[in-house]
Structure 1
Amino acid sequence: MSEIVGNSGAKTPKKSRQQDPEGTKRNIIEVAMREFADNGLSGARIDEIAAKTNASKRMIYYYFGDKDGLYLRCLEEAYRVVRSGEVELSLDHLDPIDALRRLVEFTFEHHNSHPDFIRMVMIENIHHGMFLKRSATIQQLNVTAIDNLRQICRRGVEAGVFRQGIEALDLHWHISALCFFNVSNRATFARIFDKSMDSAEEQHRLRNQVVTMILRYAIEAEAMEQVAQ
């Protein structure tokens, strides 16, 4: 443990990076995710990542093996964050309509505030999901997400407010598509139509529209009339 001299002249311990391996790994992943999101897997450089962290190249290779291993760990972290956020919503205590509404709101807001997640998913699609397929962690995280949505649908049907026959995976697809496009295609959409959708007012309006579209897809017509009133 090294020492530093304070204003009083007394020496105080200084925690080294070797004594906080988890903090060092978190720092590497945070910086690496931005590098991968900005430059893709092929364009990202370990030299650049090391220069922007508290770690050396040697330490990065020690923790993650190689650049592919670091990329996979960043991808797993990106999915872990969104799925952990869904769990923290604690939707079981809400009625099915409010639970679905809150889930859609969360997904829209999360994607909007985590553009690196969107870019990581886009990059992984360029690689045809090759790295995602390797990860049992991501597979399990997404199985849990579908199971939770399936429970919301089941409760909605039992309560007579959701129509029967909704596949949870289909519903997840529609929610993801609407929320994902809002970030992934924002730049091209703005250029093509000469209209920015970035403002807080525009994002609030779009979020409410997405919520309404998903609810109209899931809810029985009679129940939807009550929601609209």
Structure 2
Amino acid sequence: MTKTLGTPPISPAQTRSADRTRKQILEIATEEFADKGYSGARIDEIAERTNTSKRMIYYYFESKEGLYRSVLAQAYARIRRTEAVAELESMPPAEAMARLTEITFDYHSEHPEFVRLVMNENIQRGAMIGSIDSTQTRSDSVVGMIGELIRRGEADGVFREGLDPLQLHMTMSALSFYNVSNRYTFEKVFSYHMGSPEAVATRRAIVVETVLRYCRKD
């Protein structure tokens, strides 16, 4: 009687290697999708840059669409993780709101690929992002965090009543987004280099003060 051999177990080394390969593919794919959009990015180029193959990419992500969804999910997860570890609970509400605004601004400034991904997805009218459940869950969490800061600020008498956490999140994001999304056209039109360290620091301070002035009680 011939003994049937099962699939050999995957070793920890193989698992680590697979994780590294998958991570590398995601990083390069993020650059490609951010620079060229969904339609312009090519799996062949991503495979070449990662020294893998189209077959390997499809093994991990099933399709180009699957890879793009994973890139979007990772991009949004990263900014949400950055917000989540801010330890705002121990800060007074106004200080915590300022810190959250700084974190939001810094993330956009330091990750222009995130801004370009969001811009490209909006060009496609949000074709993919709505189907990524984890993005909705994480976005709900940051709105909840802002809502709690508003509640604490109202209770302490430092924030005015009637602040909407979703609208406030939108304001933070918009003010942080513009400094990256429009830096090249703004520079051409106004001869002002928005990406210089001095300009970034100046704009960061203005954005924080704008958010705080909006929140403060008269």
Matched residue type, 2:145: N
Q: Whole-Å Cα distance in 1 between the matches of residues 159 and 29 of structure 2?
A: 42
Q: How does 1:45-60 map to 2 (within 5 A)?
A: 45-60=42-57
Q: Secondary structure at the match of 1:130?
A: coil
Q: TM-score, normalised by structure 2?
A: 0.92
Alignment partner, residue 200 of structure 1: 197
Q: Whole-Å Cα distance in 2 between the matches of residues 204 and 184 of structure 1?
A: 17
List alignment gaps of at least 5 residues for structure 2: 1-11
Q: Secondary structure at the match of 1:164?
A: coil
- Which 4+ residue blocks in structure 1 deviate beyond 3 angstroms? 15-19
Following superposition, the deviation at residue 55 of structure 1 comes to 2.4
Alignment partner, residue 28 of structure 1: 25
Matched residue type, 1:149: I
Question: What is the total number of aligned residue pairs between the two structures?
Answer: 207
Alignment partner, residue 136 of structure 2: 139
Q: Whole-Å Cα distance in 2 between the matches of residues 173 and 204 of structure 1?
A: 21
Q: TM-score, normalised by structure 1?
A: 0.88
The counterpart of 1:37, out of the listed 34, 38, 44, is 34
* Residue 202 of structure 2 corresponds to residue 212 of structure 1: no
The counterpart of 1:122, out of the listed 119, 123, 127, is 119
Following superposition, the deviation at residue 57 of structure 1 comes to 1.0
The counterpart of 1:172, out of the listed 148, 157, 169, is 169
Percent identity of paired positions between Structure 1 and Structure 2: 43
CA RMSD of aligned residues (A): 1.4
Q: Which has the higher contact order (CA 8 A, sep 6+)?
A: 2
Matched residue type, 2:111: H
Q: Whole-Å Cα distance in 2 between the matches of residues 153 and 220 of structure 1?
A: 11
